[in-house]
Amino acid sequence: MAEIITGSLFMYIFKEASRNAYNSNRREDGFRENVLNCFGFNLPHTDTSDDVLRELSPGELEALKAHLVSGLIEQKFFHKFRFLNQSYLVAIDATGIATFKHKHCDHCLTKTSKSGVVTYFHYVLEAKLVTSTGLAISLASEFIENDPGRDYEKQDCEQKAFVRLAAKIKKYFPRLPVCILGDGLYPNNTVFDICQKNNWQFIITLKDGNLKTFQQEVGLLKATVKKQDVYRANKTSRTTLEYEYLNDIEYDGRYFSWVECRETVIDTKDKTTSGQRFTYITNVAQNGQKIVQTADSGRLRWKIENEGFNSQKNLGYELEHKFSRVSFIAMQNYYQLLQIAHIINQLAERSKQVIVLLAEHSKQTIVDLWRKMMAYLIFSHAEEISLAPSLPD
Ligand SMILES: [Zn+2]
């Protein structure tokens, strides 16, 4: 079992893109020998692994992932990235992983176009620990899926899945101090209740249409708003960040804080000006010391989209590739293995050895290094290889 799981995991660590690509490397005698020599396991054929991944309960790999991440948290690996030296920033977001023209399984979500064409698809809701340095580490994943017995009209959705995802985070990380980062779908009483019950902080995007009475209250109190300005300059631009906050704003019997950041960027070369506005609701009471870190942490939410989903779709992991065309169970297991591999690779790509290699010359990219590593594993002789692991900074 260890060989089958590790072999499937390495399909993603090697960024093989498909089971076919992996099998073709596996046919090389040198590759099989080198993998055995370096990592201590035989490479299984992917058909063998696939049979197992169709049967294995997806909870097993989710628990393995949580166990690995818990180990990193216990070693204080993410300690310096905590919000206000206290809680871990956990971004929540959903992404599509597969679309089909035919019904793929009983759990597919469906969408009917105006012309009556039905599309079948799968979505997953993720909770990822994010850092200002660009790490996006999967804590828990919840598939948004239809229950075969349920009413066709009432499909599962992101908000319902969040309730289950929050329960998973609590189950696997019961004592972890958490600060939830969510987009404009998340300012609602269900989310506020869950955060209150679990003793979690939150910084959630407030869109203009969200929580009307809360925003009206903010409008009435605008004259009393507290402000803080920050200026940042570099060779090409000058940035002004105007932070504003209000505490004790009532919403449905509870009191929250309102936070806004207006960013103005002046390009010093072509003299153009651009601006953005970010508004949040938070249960972290604000003051002059906390406001900047609160608004800047709120903005880290996009890391789940960029460093999380985009990397997994476009940088070799092929999140949207159909690793299993028939089995919903296998699809979930491949998804979990991809998450674990992505965690391992993010840490490997920040290790001292890799950073030294990347600094050698500007054309040396992560994609290049992975290609060279694969070539080395395929063509070199086993006894020449020695891999000394080291922890990243
Ligand atoms: Zn399906």
Task: For residues 188 and 203, give the distance between their C-alpha atoms in angstroms, rounded to a whole number.
Answer: 12
Task: For residues 62 and 86, give the distance between their C-alpha atoms in angstroms, rounded to a whole number.
Answer: 26
Tokens coding 312: 């997994």
Q: Is-contact 15 316, C-beta < 8 A?
A: yes
Task: For residues 180 and 135, give the distance between their C-alpha atoms in angstroms, rounded to a whole number.
Answer: 16
Q: Is-contact 281 258, C-beta < 8 A?
A: yes
Q: Is-contact 139 127, C-beta < 8 A?
A: yes
Cα(320) to centroid(ligand 1), Å: 13
Cα(142) to centroid(ligand 1), Å: 14
Cα(346) to centroid(ligand 1), Å: 29
Cα(105) to centroid(ligand 1), Å: 4
pLDDT of 387: 58
What residues are neighbours of ligand 1 (ion), with CB under 5 Å?
Answer: 104-105, 108
Cα(102) to centroid(ligand 1), Å: 9
Q: Is the Cα torsion angle 218, 223, 226, 230 positive or negative in sign?
A: positive
Task: Render the burial of 242-253: b for 16+ CB within 10 Å, e for the rest.
Answer: ebbbbbebebee
Q: Report the run of H or E that residue 319 belongs to, with start and end.
A: none
Please, what is the Cα angle at 329 between 325 and 331, to 5 degrees? 45
Q: Torsion angle of alpha carbons 286, 292, 295, 298, nearest 10°? A: -110
- pLDDT tens across the length of the chain (393 residues): 999 999 999 999 998 877 888 888 888 888 999 999 888 889 998 899 999 999 999 999 999 999 999 999 999 999 999 999 999 999 999 998 888 888 888 888 888 889 999 998 899 999 999 999 999 999 999 999 887 766 556 788 899 999 999 999 999 999 999 999 999 999 999 999 999 999 999 999 999 989 999 999 999 998 999 999 999 888 889 999 999 999 999 999 999 999 999 999 999 888 899 999 999 999 999 999 999 999 999 999 888 787 778 888 877 777 777 777 788 999 999 999 999 999 999 999 999 989 999 988 878 888 888 888 889 888 887 565 555 555 555
Q: Is-contact 291 279, C-beta < 8 A?
A: no
> What is the value of pTM for the model shown?
0.91
pLDDT of 386: 58
Q: What is the pLDDT of residues 332-342, one digit of tens each?
A: 999 999 999 99
Cα(114) to centroid(ligand 1), Å: 22
Cα(334) to centroid(ligand 1), Å: 14
Cα(338) to centroid(ligand 1), Å: 18
Task: For residues 144 and 161, give the distance between their C-alpha atoms in angstroms, rounded to a whole number.
Answer: 6
- What is the residue-averaged pLDDT of the chain? 90
Q: What is the pLDDT of residues 137-180, one digit of tens each?
A: 999 999 998 877 665 567 888 999 999 999 999 999 999 999 99
pLDDT of 383: 63
